[in-house]
């Protein structure tokens, strides 16, 4: 899946690990350490590790009809859609946190009390926000998940926010002690950005999404047919993953100069839906041909 970028590597890659407001607190001179080849190779290793962890999470929560390596396969495939997905990026690091958040939220329905789970999720979102600001919008996922799984309990709704604020409280104190508290306030200004009403899209760059879109539609139809025959926990899990997918897409507006690698955040929830389709599809010649077309399309548009 990554052969094209090894054949035609970029001249230079700069990996920015943290947001500018985090570098003031944590100085990690990582931007120019890696060569282009090392950057690409490490990114591939990280994707592979994420795929294994992601596969275990999906199987442990019985989201598919039977355990398999389909989630890992679809995760690696989805993480190869575009060239910016193939190199080190903040969203690639954040996907580790997103998979952990997914695991935590899928436990809500099985736990008597979820205050600590929500607190942990809030901390994960705060750490992700230090790495990549649009990750802050995942706070909405906490409350949407509680709406799905639990009756209202104010401590559970507040605990996630407390976990998030506990990290940024220390950041605010550090800014204050360095007489830069005004800079701390500016961190949150992108949340006031208006959602764009017009988009400038180079459609040729996104034709690879056509087979993905077809597979997502087939997966949605398959899920709809089996929806009321599934366990209640499975239904709620897929609803939560749908919200995660939508939030991951919509959060781009908080970063005006966002790059295509932002949509790498959509890969974990999207890969679950695709894996659901392939695990339930019956016509083998059709779904294997569809997957082959997807792989060939990815390679074609990467080489193009």
Whole-angstrom distance, CA of residue 9 vs CA of residue 222: 39
pLDDT, tens only, 167-224: 989 888 888 888 778 777 878 877 777 766 655 666 666 788 888 999 999 988 888 8
Sign of CA dihedral 43, 217, 54, 76: negative
Nearest to 164 by CA among 126, 137, 127: 126
pLDDT classification of 111: cutoffs 50, 70, 90: confident
For the chain, the first-to-last Cα distance in angstroms comes to 14
**How does pLDDT run across 66-99, given as a tens digit for each residue?**
899 999 999 999 999 998 899 999 999 999 999 9
Please check whether residue 287 is in contact with residue 279, taking contact to mean a CB–CB distance below 8 angstroms. no
Q: In the numeric block, which tokens belong to residue 95?
A: 């996907």
Distance between CA atoms of residues 137 and 191, nearest Å: 9
State whether the Cα torsion 190-163-92-67 is positive or negative.
negative
Return left, alpha or beta for 62; rule: phi > 0 is left, psi -120 to 50 is alpha, else beta. Answer: left
> pLDDT tens across 7-55, in order?
888 887 777 777 777 766 666 655 567 788 888 999 999 999 999 999 9
Q: For the segment 158-181, what is each residue's pLDDT rounded down to a tens digit?
A: 999 999 999 989 888 888 888 778
Report the C-alpha gap between 226 and 112 in whole angstroms. Answer: 28
Tell me how far apart the alpha carbons of residues 176 and 245 are, in angstroms, rounded to a whole number. 36
- What was the pLDDT predicted at 48? 96
């Amino acid at each position: 899946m990554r052969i094209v970028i090894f054949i035609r590597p970029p001249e230079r890659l700069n990996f920015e690990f943290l947001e500018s407001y985090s570098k003031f607190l944590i100085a990690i001179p990582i931007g120019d350490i890696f060569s282009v080849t090392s950057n690409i190779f490490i990114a591939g290793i990280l994707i592979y590790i994420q795929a294994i962890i992601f596969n275990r999470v999906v199987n442990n929560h019985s989201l598919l009809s039977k355990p398999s390596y389909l989630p890992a396969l679809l995760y690696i495939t989805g993480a190869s859609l575009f060239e910016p997905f193939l190199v080190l990026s903040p969203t690639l690091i954040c996907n580790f946190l997103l998979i952990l958040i997914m695991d935590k939220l899928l436990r809500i329905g099985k736990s008597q009390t979820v205050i600590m789970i929500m607190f942990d999720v809030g901390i994960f979102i705060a750490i992700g926000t230090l790495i990549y600001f649009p990750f802050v919008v995942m706070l909405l996922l906490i409350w949407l998940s509680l709406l799905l799984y639990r009756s209202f309990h104010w401590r559970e709704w507040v605990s996630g926010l407390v976990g998030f604020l506990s990290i940024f409280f220390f950041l605010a104190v550090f800014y204050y002690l360095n007489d830069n508290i005004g800079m701390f306030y500016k961190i949150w200004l992108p949340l006031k950005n208006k959602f764009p009403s017009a988009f400038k899209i180079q459609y040729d760059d996104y034709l690879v999404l056509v087979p993905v879109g077809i597979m997502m539609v087939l997966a949605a139809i398959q899920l709809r047919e089996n929806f009321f025959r599934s366990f209640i926990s499975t239904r709620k899990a897929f609803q939560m993953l749908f919200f995660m997918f939508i939030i991951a897409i919509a959060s781009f507006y908080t970063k005006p100069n966002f790059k295509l690698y932002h949509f790498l955040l959509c890969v974990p929830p999207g890969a679950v839906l695709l894996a659901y389709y392939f695990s339930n599809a019956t016509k083998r010649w059709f779904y294997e041909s569809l997957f082959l077309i997807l792989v060939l399309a990815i390679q074609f548009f990467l080489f193009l």
